[in-house]
Amino acid sequence: MAARRPRRSKSLAVQTMELGVAVPQVIAHRVARMAIAGASPSARDRKELRRMGSEKVAALNEGWNAMALEALRANQRLTLSFMQSLWFPWVRAKRRQSASRQLSNAALDIFGKGVAPVRRRAVANAKRLGRIKRR
């Protein structure tokens, strides 16, 4: 019996859930840190605030680039499938997916590529900020 491949949507759902859990933790920690620091944050607090801003920009850029590259790949796959159906209409591939299935898979892949860098950073920040010792 062939091994079943995990569904894309399931892994994307897990990634989205992890993001939904990590983001409030990071926000709560950083807002509390800003409230405690008040008008004169320490060097450590200033470093964390700078990091917060630069990480957001880096995650956005990385996600946007990954989505654009995945969209390009998906367009190439869709075009190839369309052209094969035009050039060889008599050949019905057993594995050929319907156009709606291909579009659905492409959308999930593109979204997954865009969410991955944001989730990766948010989960890492939640772990890192959760283990910082209070001074």
Residue 113: which residues within 8 A CB-CB, separation 6 or more? 63, 66, 67, 69, 70
Joined tokens for residue 82: 């369309």
Q: Is residue 7 part of a domain?
A: no
Q: Quote the crossing angle between the two packed helices 8-37 and 43-87, to the nearest 10°.
A: 160
pLDDT by residue for the chain (135 residues), tens only, comes to 556 656 666 688 888 999 999 999 999 998 998 899 888 889 988 898 899 899 999 999 999 999 999 999 999 999 988 888 888 877 666 566 777 888 998 999 999 999 999 999 999 999 998 886 655
Q: Is residue 118 part of a domain?
A: yes
Query: Domain tally for the chain?
Result: 1
Q: Is residue 8 part of a domain?
A: no
Nearest-angstrom CA–CA distance, 135 and 133? 6
Q: Is residue 1 part of a domain?
A: no
Q: Is residue 14 part of a domain?
A: no
Domain boundaries, position 102: 24-130
Full-model pTM: 0.75
Q: Is residue 53 part of a domain?
A: yes
